[in-house]
A and B are shown apart, each in its own frame.
Chain A
Amino acid sequence: MNLRAIGCNVESAAVELREKLAFDAAKTQRALAELTARFAAEAVVLGTCNRVEIYVSRQETVAALHVPMMAEFLSEIHGVPASAIAPHLYEHADASAAKHLFRVASGLDSVVLGETQIAGQVKDAFESAQKFGATGPLLNALFPNALRVSKRVRTETGIARGHVSVSSAAVDFVQQVFSSFADKTVLVIGAGKMGRLTLKHLAELKPAAVLVTNRNPERAASVAKECGGRVLPWDRLDDALAQADIVLSTTGAPEPIVSARRYAERVRPRRGGRPQVIFDMAVPRDFDPDIHDGDAVSVFNVDDLGRVAEARMAERRKHLPAAESLIESEVAKFVGDWNRRANGPVIGQLTSEVDKLRDGIMVPLLAKLNGKLSDAEKAQIEQAFRLFQNKLLHGPIAALHASSHEGQSGGLREALRKLFGLQG
């Protein structure tokens, strides 16, 4: 195996550099074409907002690509000095590169541990490289394996369980109360950034209607336009609250806009016991926390959502050792399988070469002794040559098999090729 994973991520390079090294479709195509043509390498370019990585594999008989060469290459593609790139690049070789890809695809190397989006990005990167004919035997085996491992990690461990962002945690809460959203109404009060972000997640549930109210009618209209909602005048806030099943409040009001008393007198009696979930994303808070009863009304503020998101992340971290262990075993399996596959032709060639050597000595010898030996004696001599050959080859072949389990058979294969004059 002559595999390298070279690149930078959010930990090794600042966003300014990652932006400069970002690959669009044209640059990806160019890079893949260059890598295959210039270096006779299989290649996949993986570019996301958090990482830029190039996976390259070359014949075992040629030198591997390393960071300086890749920095030069990236410099040519992006027009950034190689000296500015190289210090921020990391390099993983062979089994370590496979492990890195498995971890990346499983979301273990992501900023948000266990995020699922990266698996799709890995798949897209691989399919794009395949489309340009830049992949070969190793990467064609490695990437589908990475995607399979990613699926195993997500399903067999809790690494991807639950939402871990503050805004998406709201969706988890709302799903604890409601199961169908086609008949639900969302009310948006105010126009704060966090509220808009949360609304984006809630909109994915496809509620029946979105109502928007704001002290400033123009801002209400702007939010309503953004989310396809309907504007309600600010003085009809109580009506809107009585009507809504999910409330998202993000005003900049200095004190609560809905007190417990106001809610108890003007809203609760009109709801007929229907449950309501209120997300109070404003600081200071818009709703009196005493409104919350966890039955008919549940009020969650930014801290509640943040705590849940953090708890989720902590829960995910607990599954990290299990995920790492699964990846370790999958890497060992992949490398072992690959080496056995790569050993096959070498062992075949080696046996064939020694067969030729044996015949080159044995056939003239038997011809010279023709007439002097019985058939049984000839058979004994042939058997002795074969036995010698088997004993001679047993050591190298056994060492090759053993090293394939250890993931280091590439060097040995190369040594055998040189020692016995085998073709690459």
Chain B
Amino acid sequence: MSASVLQNVTHSCFALSYLCALLLELGRTFWPGKGWRVAGLAFGAAGLVAHSAFILFHQPTPAAPYGSLLLLAWVLALFYLYGTVHHAKQAWAVFVLPVVIGLVGLSLALATAPNASEFTVPEWAAGDRFWGIVHGLLILGASVGISVSFLASLMYLLQARRLRKKLAPGGAVPMLSLERIETMNRRALNVAFPLLTAGLLVGTLLLSQGHVTGDNWLSLKVLTTAALWVVFLVLLYLRYGGHVPARRLALLSIAAFAILLVALVAAHPFAEGGAK
């Protein structure tokens, strides 16, 4: 793929592809048939290819809100495709794609005209900023886990609501069993917490050594990330030690995702009052 072709790939290309995939998936829930799924998968895969090409060409930094949101959306798009292929009968896309599209939209709102770079090591990955990147990647990994946990929690709440109301199983939006959703949630949290902890430690060291300019200990980003870690700690304690109903844990996971979004967006100049 030549650089000129890659340059023409925009947010709209993959956002619209994901949207079409979502609409087709919704169509499948009302009118069953193989065609919907195949067409939805084709659009989803096309969106992922365009998304990958965009990231490859523009190489957004995970240390900035724009890049981290875009990269997070990309990982979740991968998760969507994997889930749709492996859980063919479930309405996987109905849950994952809105989040992917939302993250792409949010990144677009925070975009500050990304530069079309050459295929070289980007500036942000070189020299002193290496640990900043490590920090960004660790937080990104944790963000993926938190996002998966958020999706699992949404599915759990919907499935539990169906059971509480004793609605007919399956329905328009077929979903995984509570047990399977719970396993997915647990694994996501188990992966996310160490990454978040490590990311937070690296960030703390960078802050204490004055490697990071503009941020300070009381900045919104630092505070929300710390709050996220505390929520996670509570979440893990309740999950493994508190025997709290799974529905409450799901609500707490959703709250964690909301804090994550604030933490990811917080570094942007708008959120920092234009300080950066």
Chain B: minimal CB distance from A290 (Å): 13
Interface of B is mostly: helix
Which of A157, A273, A295, A304 has the most B CB atoms < 10 Å from its CB? Answer: A295
Tell me if B122 is interfacial: C-beta within 8 Å of chain A. no
Among residues of A, the one whose C-beta sits closest to the C-beta of B180 is: A179
CB neighbors of A among B175-190 (8 A): 176-180
Q: State which of A156, A296, A311 has its C-beta within 8 Å of the C-beta of B168.
A: A311
Question: Is A176 a contact partner of B164 (Cβ separation < 8 A)?
Answer: no
Chain A: minimal CB distance from B179 (Å): 5
Q: Find chain B residues with CB under 8 A from A161 CB.
A: 32, 170
Q: State which of B32, B178, B245, B247 has its C-beta within 8 Å of the C-beta of A176.
A: B178
Q: Find chain B residues with CB under 8 A from A155 CB.
A: 34
Chain B: minimal CB distance from A330 (Å): 16
Known A162-B170, A176-B178: A296·B163 in contact at CB below 8 Å: no
Chain B: minimal CB distance from A291 (Å): 12
Q: Find chain A residues with CB under 8 A from B34 CB.
A: 155-156
Chain B: minimal CB distance from A414 (Å): 42
- Bound-state CA distance A292–B164 (Å) is 7
Q: Find chain A residues with CB under 8 A from B162 CB.
A: 176, 294
Q: Find chain A residues with CB under 8 A from B245 CB.
A: 273, 293, 295-296
Tell me if B160 is interfacial: C-beta within 8 Å of chain A. yes
Q: Find chain A residues with CB under 8 A from B33 CB.
A: 156
Among residues of A, the one whose C-beta sits closest to the C-beta of B178 is: A177
Chain B: minimal CB distance from A244 (Å): 15
Question: Is B170 a contact partner of A172 (Cβ separation < 8 A)?
Answer: yes
Tell me if B125 is interfacial: C-beta within 8 Å of chain A. no
Chain A: minimal CB distance from B239 (Å): 9
- Bound-state CA distance A293–B165 (Å) is 9
- Bound-state CA distance A156–B180 (Å) is 28
Tell me if B161 is interfacial: C-beta within 8 Å of chain A. yes
- Bound-state CA distance A298–B245 (Å) is 13
Q: State which of B161, B165, B179 has its C-beta within 8 Å of the C-beta of A275.
A: B179
Question: Is A294 a contact partner of B164 (Cβ separation < 8 A)?
Answer: yes
Chain B: minimal CB distance from A285 (Å): 14
Question: Is A308 a contact partner of B163 (Cβ separation < 8 A)?
Answer: no
Question: Is B177 a contact partner of A295 (Cβ separation < 8 A)?
Answer: no
Tell me if B206 is interfacial: C-beta within 8 Å of chain A. no
Question: Is B164 a contact partner of A273 (Cβ separation < 8 A)?
Answer: no
CB neighbors of A among B30-76 (8 A): 32-34
- Bound-state CA distance A180–B176 (Å) is 12
Q: Find chain B residues with CB under 8 A from A307 CB.
A: 166, 168
CB neighbors of A among B140-187 (8 A): 159-166, 168-170, 176-180
Apart from A178-B177, A179-B176, what 13 extra A-B contacts exist at CB < 8 Å? A156-B34, A172-B170, A173-B169, A176-B169, A177-B179, A178-B178, A272-B243, A294-B163, A294-B166, A296-B245, A307-B168, A308-B168, A312-B168
> Could you list which residues of chain B lie within 8 angstroms of chain A, going by C-beta atoms?
32-34, 159-166, 168-170, 176-180, 243-247
